[in-house]
C-alpha cells in the first residue's frame, strides 16, 4: 500500500501532511528527500507529521522535517496548516482555542474560518543560548563576518533559530548572496533561518527568508514572527504589523517583552494523494 498524504500550503510555503496518529510510517532522511523532490516526488518545503498527543490537554502533536530530511523545531505556516487539517478531520471547532504539541512546546491556535488560522507562537527569545548563537551576552544586534564582509544581524528564537537583517531592498543581489552564508554561519551551531526585512512603515514590512534545510521560500511564518520581534525590540515597528512575503501577507501582533506573539494567516488545501515511491 502507498502512503496517504495531504498537500497544503501557507502563502506558497508548501507542505506534505501525514497522519501518523495510529500508524507511524518509516521516515528516514532518504525517503523524505525522495518525497520532497519536485521533479520525481511530491515536492514540499517541509513534511508535517501529525502524531497522538502525549499531553491530555492537547488535541494532537506534530513533528516537522525539512526537505533535506533534517528536523525542525517550529514552522509557523505549517502550524496553521496542521490546524486547518485537524479542523477538516473534525478535531478542531471554529472559534474555539485548541492546543497542539509542537517540537518546541505547546502551541495554541484558533480558526476564524476553515482557511484562516491564528497561532500563539509564544514569547520570542533573544538570549544567545536559547537560539543558539555564539555570543557572550545578549544585544540588540551583532556583527557577523560573511566572507570578508561584516553585516549587522539580530538573533531570535521562535522555537527555531533566526537571524534578521534589515535591508533597503529585499530583492537586491546582495541579499541573494548573503542568504546561504548567514544560514550556515559557524556562529549558529544548529544553522539559522536568515530573514531579510525591509521596513516600509511602522505597520508594514517586506520580508524574504532563506530557510535552513529548504533554501529560499515563498513564505516563512516563524521568520515573519522573528522579523517583527527583532524590529519591534529596536523600536522600528509598531505592535501590529503586516508582513509581505513573496507568497502573500501575514498579520503579526506582539505587545512586547513578557507577552506572546500572535500570527494570523491562511492555510490552503491543494490535494490528497498516495505516495507510491520507496
In the set 81, 110, 220, 225, the catalytic residue is 220
Nearest to 202 by CA among 157, 233, 250, 236: 236
Nearest to 215 by CA among 15, 66, 33: 66
In the set 75, 81, 110, 225, the catalytic residue is 75
CA end-to-end span of the chain: 11
Catalytic residue list contains 225: no
Catalytic residue list contains 75: yes
DSSP string, the chain: --EEEEEEEETTEEEEEEE-SS------HHHHHHHH-TTTS---SEEEEEE--SSTTSSEEEEEEETTS-EES--HHHHHHHHHHHHHTTSS-TT--EEEEETTEEEEEEEEETTEEEEE----B--GGGTT---SS--S-EEEEETTEEEEEEEEESSSEEEEEE-S-TTSHHHHHHHHHHHT-TTSTT--EEEEEEEEETTEEEEEEEETTTEEES--HHHHHHHHHHHHHTTSS-SEEEEEETTEEEEEEE--TTS-EEEEEE-EEEEEEEE---
For the record, the C-alpha cell of 70 comes out as 533534517
- Ramachandran bin of 198, using left for φ above 0, alpha for ψ from -120 to 50, beta for the remaining angles: beta
Residues labelled as active-site residues = 75, 220
Amino acid at each position: 500500500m502507498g502512503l496517504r498524504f495531504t498537500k497544503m500550503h501557507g502563502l506558497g510555503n508548501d507542505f506534505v501532511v501525514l497522519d501518523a496518529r495510529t500508524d507511524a510510517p518509516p521516515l528516514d532522511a532518504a525517503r523524505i528527500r525522495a518525497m520532497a523532490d519536485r521533479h520525481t516526488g511530491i515536492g514540499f518545503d517541509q513534511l508535517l507529521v501529525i502524531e497522538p498527543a502525549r499531553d491530555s490537554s492537547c488535541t494532537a502533536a506534530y513533528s516537522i522535517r525539512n526537505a533535506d530530511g533534517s528536523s525542525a523545531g517550529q514552522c509557523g505556516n505549517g502550524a496553521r496548516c496542521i490546524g486547518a487539517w485537524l479542523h477538516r478531520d473534525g478535531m478542531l471547532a471554529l472559534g474555539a482555542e485548541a492546543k497542539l504539541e509542537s517540537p518546541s512546546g505547546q502551541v495554541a491556535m484558533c480558526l476564524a474560518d476553515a482557511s484562516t488560522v491564528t497561532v500563539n507562537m509564544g514569547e520570542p527569545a533573544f538570549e544567545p543560548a536559547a537560539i543558539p548563537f555564539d555570543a557572550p551576552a545578549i544585544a540588540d544586534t551583532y556583527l557577523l563576518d560573511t566572507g570578508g564582509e561584516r553585516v549587522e544581524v539580530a538573533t531570535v528564537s521562535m522555537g527555531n533559530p533566526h537571524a534578521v537583517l534589515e535591508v533597503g531592498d529585499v530583492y537586491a543581489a546582495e541579499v541573494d548572496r548573503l542568504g546561504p552564508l548567514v544560514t550556515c554561519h559557524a556562529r549558529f551551531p544548529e544553522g539559522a533561518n536568515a530573514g531579510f526585512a525591509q521596513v516600509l512603515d511602522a505597520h508594514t514590512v517586506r520580508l524574504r527568508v532563506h530557510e535552513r534545510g529548504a533554501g529560499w521560500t515563498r513564505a516563512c511564518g516563524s521568520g515573519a514572527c522573528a522579523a517583527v520581534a527583532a524590529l519591534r525590540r529596536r523600536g522600528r515597528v509598531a505592535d501590529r504589523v503586516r508582513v509581505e512575503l513573496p507568497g502573500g501577507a501575514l498579520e503579526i501582533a506582539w505587545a512586547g517583552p513578557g507577552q506572546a506573539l500572535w500570527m494570523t494567516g491562511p492555510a490552503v488545501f491543494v490535494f490528497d494523494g498516495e505516495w507510491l515511491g520507496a
